[in-house]
């Protein structure tokens, strides 16, 4: 399930997932005791799955920013890398909700910084989609690749540019992201920002040396995807900033023509 369409879940009342969602550690402990009374070890209770997404209590706690619950579950040695039915991990959910404190706890507990969901998106893609620069930096520091591409060839920089996340775009560029990398359709971050009319992001990409000459697989340059005169004006005014950054991806040969 795409990060851009996934909605936050709500758990059924009086369940272990509801306790995790609402930060009720006493209720969590109650369910653990109940489970042990019928022969279930605490790991069974604390790693049970709920709803169509197949989320565990840790997923729910991370999504809702319940730091104390996350710390409680980590101490109980639950699987911090467990994915739901769409391979979404607790780290993905903490990243998209900008819970930097929880991201730090998970990484300290040796959570993998680079698990891919069914779309091929890593937590850093999810953070970039929402523009969470601090989380992006935390993940990068712990080994998450900056230019990793999902199944459609989108890197975190493509996601940030498409969604108009100016600060995250600059953060990724500062961390070394390839500014002219192309998706499987041959689009650079600048193509995507132009298509979505993300004016501030267009400006920052151009100022950072993004090429306006790259041609995608539909034979379009970024200017061809602009939907407003304002976007075209920004491109025109910043042509002098275009740098010599290499074009990365299937359309590299087209840009050199």
pLDDT for position 11: 77
Domain boundary, last residue among 68, 103, 136: 136
Structure tokens at 165: 């996340």
Residues 118, 196, single domain; the answer is no
Residues 106, 222, single domain; the answer is no
- HEC string of 198-217 equals CHHHHHHHHHCCCCCCCCCC
- In this structure, is residue 150 part of a structural domain? yes
Q: What is the pLDDT along the chain (257 residues), one digit of tens a residue?
A: 556 656 666 677 779 999 999 999 999 999 999 988 898 888 889 999 987 899 999 999 999 999 999 999 999 999 999 999 999 999 999 999 999 999 999 999 999 999 999 999 999 999 999 999 999 999 999 999 999 999 999 999 999 999 999 999 999 999 999 999 999 999 999 999 999 999 999 999 999 999 999 999 999 999 999 999 999 999 999 986 655 444 555 544 444 33
CA 166 to chain centre: 15
- In this structure, is residue 244 part of a structural domain? yes
Q: How many domains does the chain have?
A: 2
Residues 168, 50, single domain; the answer is no
Provide the residue range defining the domain that includes 18: 1-136
Residues 59, 6, single domain; the answer is yes
Residues 101, 61, single domain; the answer is yes
- In this structure, is residue 83 part of a structural domain? yes
Residues 70, 95, single domain; the answer is yes
CATH number at residue 239: 1.25.40.20
Domain boundary, last residue among 73, 107, 136: 136
pLDDT for position 12: 78
- In this structure, is residue 141 part of a structural domain? no
CA distance 7 to 158: 22
pLDDT for position 256: 39
CA distance 106 to 246: 36
Residues 214, 118, single domain; the answer is no
């Amino acid at each position: 399930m795409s990060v851009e369409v996934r909605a936050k879940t709500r758990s059924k009342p009086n369940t272990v997932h509801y306790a995790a969602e609402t930060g009720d550690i006493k209720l969590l402990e109650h369910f653990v005791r109940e489970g042990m009374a019928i022969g279930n070890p605490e790991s069974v209770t604390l790693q049970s799955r709920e709803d169509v997404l197949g989320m565990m209590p840790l997923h729910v706690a991370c999504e809702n920013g319940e730091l104390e619950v996350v710390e409680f579950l980590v101490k109980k040695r639950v699987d911090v890398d467990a994915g739901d039915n769409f391979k979404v991990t607790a780290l993905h959910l903490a990243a998209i909700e900008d819970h930097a404190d929880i991201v730090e706890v998970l990484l300290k507990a040796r959570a993998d910084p680079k698990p891919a969901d069914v779309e091929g998106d890593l937590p850093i893609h999810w953070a970039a989609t929402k523009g969470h620069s601090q989380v992006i930096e935390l993940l990068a520091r712990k080994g998450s690749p900056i230019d990793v591409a999902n199944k459609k060839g989108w890197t975190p920089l493509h996601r940030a540019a498409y969604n108009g996340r100016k600060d995250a775009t600059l953060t990724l560029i500062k961390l070394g992201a390839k500014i002219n990398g192309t998706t499987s359709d041959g689009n650079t971050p600048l193509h995507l920002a132009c298509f979505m009319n993300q004016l501030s992001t267009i400006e920052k990409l151009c100022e950072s040396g993004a090429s306006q000459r790259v041609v995608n697989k539909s034979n379009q340059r970024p200017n061809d995807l602009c939907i407003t005169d304002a976007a075209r004006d920004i491109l025109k005014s910043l042509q002098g900033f275009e740098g010599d950054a290499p074009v990365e991806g299937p359309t590299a040969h087209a840009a050199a023509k």
